[in-house]
């Protein structure tokens, strides 16, 4: 594999140093995000709640990524991914009920359905596929792969993995290979992705590719094996074990669902 891992190694060393002191996440920042959400709920700034939920989602997934990468505690990683998935589902419920938001993607409104993998990957890494489907739906490529409906995935994808609609999206190309049960192509496009990430490492090093790892998880369910041995994809940490989630909750879920319920009542009225 070409491209140096110098910048990645330095970043991982920093993570290990932080882990020695139990610093897996910025608790002050997480608390700030919760306070911001509370304020928006209190002020009934409902068009900003989805933004707050997204901020918390990515904070929890980031914590899960670090836990998984350092192999400090895989159960703790899944706990973070699980709570992130609960938050993600709330985002999608609010979108479905017509709540507006200010989440942007390159200056344009974020397309939650098209980009559902940004959120559903947390549930997939936690082995919580029912939660994943609440974000992917069953009429998307991601949903078809999660539910093992490979003929539908093939039908939703272009005929060629080099089609202009997905030719610059390595994850989409990996999905094409999974749908068509092509292990050689899957590894080709996954390697292409890692090379792309390493090109940008001097500017923004990616030490843990949760996107690629989630693609590997979906591929394994199709009987496809990853043949890459790269630091960004520690797929040896993947398993099919679900943690006990009985004591895990998102503390603001009841308030958010109450707001959703109010919206539903207004729509019916």
Confidence class of residue 27 from pLDDT cuts 50, 70 and 90?
Answer: confident
Q: Who contacts 70 (Cβ-Cβ below 8 Å, separation ≥6)?
A: 15, 16, 19
CB-based burial, 89-104: b 16+ in 10 Å, e otherwise: bbbbebbeeebebebe
pLDDT tens column, 186-228:
999 999 999 999 998 888 888 899 999 999 999 999 999 999 9
Q: pLDDT value at position 207?
A: 87
More confident residue, 175 or 266: 175
Flag whether pLDDT at 23 surpasses 60: no
Structure token pair of residue 49:
């709640």
pLDDT tens column, 67-88:
888 766 789 999 999 999 999 9
pLDDT tens column, 225-257:
999 999 899 999 999 999 999 999 999 999 999
Q: pLDDT value at position 73?
A: 78
- The mean of the pLDDT values for the chain is 92
pLDDT tens column, 38-71:
999 999 999 999 999 999 999 999 999 988 887 6
Q: pLDDT value at position 269?
A: 66
């Amino acid at each position: 594999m070409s491209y140096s891992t110098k910048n990645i190694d330095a970043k991982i060393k920093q993570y290990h140093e932080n882990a020695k002191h139990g610093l897996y996440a910025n608790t002050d920042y997480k608390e700030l995000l919760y306070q911001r959400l509370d304020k928006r709920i209190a002020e009934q700034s409902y068009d900003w709640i989805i933004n707050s939920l997204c901020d918390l989602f990515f904070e929890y997934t980031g914590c899960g990524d670090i836990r998984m990468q350092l192999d400090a505690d895989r159960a703790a990683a899944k706990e973070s991914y699980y709570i992130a998935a609960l938050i993600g589902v709330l985002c999608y419920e609010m979108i479905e009920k017509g709540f507006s938001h200010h989440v942007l993607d390159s200056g344009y409104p974020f397309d939650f359905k098209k980009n559902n993998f940004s959120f559903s990957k947390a549930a997939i890494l936690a082995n919580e596929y029912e939660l994943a489907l609440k974000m992917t739906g069953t009429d998307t490529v991601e949903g078809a792969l999660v539910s093992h409906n490979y003929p539908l995935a093939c039908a939703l994808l272009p005929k060629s993995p080099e089609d202009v609609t997905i030719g610059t999206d390595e994850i989409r190309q990996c999905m094409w290979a999974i749908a068509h049960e092509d292990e050689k192509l899957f590894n080709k496009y996954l390697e292409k992705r890692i090379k792309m990430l390493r090109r940008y490492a001097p500017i923004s090093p990616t030490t843990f590719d949760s996107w690629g790892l989630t693609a590997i998880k979906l591929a394994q369910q199709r009987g496809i094996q990853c043949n890459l041995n790269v630091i960004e994809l520690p797929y040896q940490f993947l398993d099919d074990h679900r943690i006990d989630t009985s004591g895990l909750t998102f503390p603001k879920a009841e308030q958010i669902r109450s707001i959703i319920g109010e919206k539903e009542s207004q729509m019916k009225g």
